[in-house]
Structure 1
């Protein structure tokens, strides 16, 4: 980014950042998503600095006193945490719709069978697996099942087996932003 100081176009700066920096921050994020706050903040700090730099390029002054969430909203870049959650959910959505073949991950996701006399959607759609360790609690499958249950509880119109990917991604961003 230091070498691109002469670039003035927003699209060129964003393309360079997406290609060289954010691609490394998001590489394999489904597996290594940090569950500790300090590591999450270290990753987000890189993006916040870029958002402030981009804000300065767009508006002509550096936003010292503006909150980071405001600055990232003004430049139109989602947080890395939101992008990691959406990537995980889209991966498992594609797994459920049969567009990705991963029998190991699919075997760890169980459907909740409702009792005989219950109302529709009174229980979560997916059975959350019981875990005994923190490592298993923060594993990708457990996180995905928990997030998918949250998504289907807040947006009952989302169908994990027949919705389009674009509509599913839009609902993910609405739910977790």
Structure 2
């Protein structure tokens, strides 16, 4: 199999200011260096801030939300609008979020604005006499903030890895099960070595420990995703 040099890029993942740059070559041709690559629909930048990913998601979802607003102008059913939002918009907002959920609070707030616009649209059409408030809208529409859902998706991913539903050996190497020496009512189920406390698996473990206090993760497997994502 021959590699296409025009589609081959070099990227160095580091946050150092003084970067050692080496001229990599393929068939005596230098490979172009880049600061951001797209892999399986996710933009990954050299410093792993995921700004490009957030900007891309925001742009795409803003357009889709505008489409939903236009095609539902004469809709009288809130359920139809909700289905369109969750299917077309929120699915993109959460695509591969386990990979890029280390985003800054500024980027997280930027993505949250998409759901805020949807909530405001629903209140304007179906609750015109009620003063709009985002927290009230979430309660009325039975929605969670996108940040909360991303953390629960982190937890769900790790739990599914431990149950064998997803394949991720690196997570199993870093995250272990914590078995207390005696019975206690509140304890963390997952334990991470201090050497890996800043890795994505540690973030997933922290989220899973919170979820395990609210949901019986050893119950029926077929309803587990719904229980984790819908529990307040």
2:219 alignment partner in structure 1: 163
- The residue correspondences of 1:7-86 to structure 2 (distance < 5 A) are 7-61=75-129, 63=131, 66-86=132-152
Change (3 A) 1:172 1:51: closer
Structure 1 residue 124: Cα displacement: 3.1
2:176 alignment partner in structure 1: 110
Structure 1 residue 25: Cα displacement: 0.9
Q: Residues of 1 paired with 2:122 and 2:203: CA distance?
A: 32
The root-mean-square deviation of aligned C-alpha atoms, in Å, is 2.7
Structure 1 residue 49: Cα displacement: 1.3
Structure 1 residue 147: Cα displacement: 2.0
Give 1 or 2: higher helix fraction: 1
Structure 1 residue 54: Cα displacement: 0.8
Q: Which structure 1 residue ranges, 5 or more long, are not aligned?
A: none
Q: Which has the larger radius of gyration?
A: 2
Structure 1 residue 149: Cα displacement: 2.6
1:151 alignment partner in structure 2: 211
Instruction: Please state whether the residue corresponding to 1:148 is helix, strand or coil.
Output: helix
Structure 1 residue 55: Cα displacement: 1.7
Change (3 A) 1:169 1:11: closer
Q: Residues of 2 paired with 1:40 and 1:15: CA distance?
A: 23
Higher relative CO (Cα under 8 Å, sequence separation at least 6) belongs to 1
Change (3 A) 1:11 1:171: closer
When normalised by structure 1's length, the TM-score is 0.75
Q: Residues of 1 paired with 2:127 and 2:136: CA distance?
A: 14
1:3 aligns with 2:70: yes
Spell out, residue by residue over 1:28-71, the C-alpha distance to the aligned partner (whole angstroms, 9 max, x if none).
111111442111111111101101111222223473xx431111
> Do 1:92 and 1:144's aligned partners in 2 also have CA atoms closer than 8 Å?
yes
2:19 alignment partner in structure 1: none
Structure 1 residue 72: Cα displacement: 1.5
Give 1 or 2: higher strand fraction: 2
Q: Which structure 2 residue ranges, 5 or more long, are not aligned?
A: 1-67
1:97 aligns with 2:160: no
Spell out, residue by residue over 1:112-158, the C-alpha distance to the aligned partner (whole angstroms, 9 max, x if none).
355xxx422476332223247xxx62x43111111223334x35x73
When normalised by structure 2's length, the TM-score is 0.59
Instruction: Please state whether the residue corresponding to 2:139 is helix, strand or coil.
Output: helix
Q: Residues of 1 paired with 2:100 and 2:86: CA distance?
A: 19
Change (3 A) 1:88 1:17: same
2:189 alignment partner in structure 1: 125
2:21 alignment partner in structure 1: none
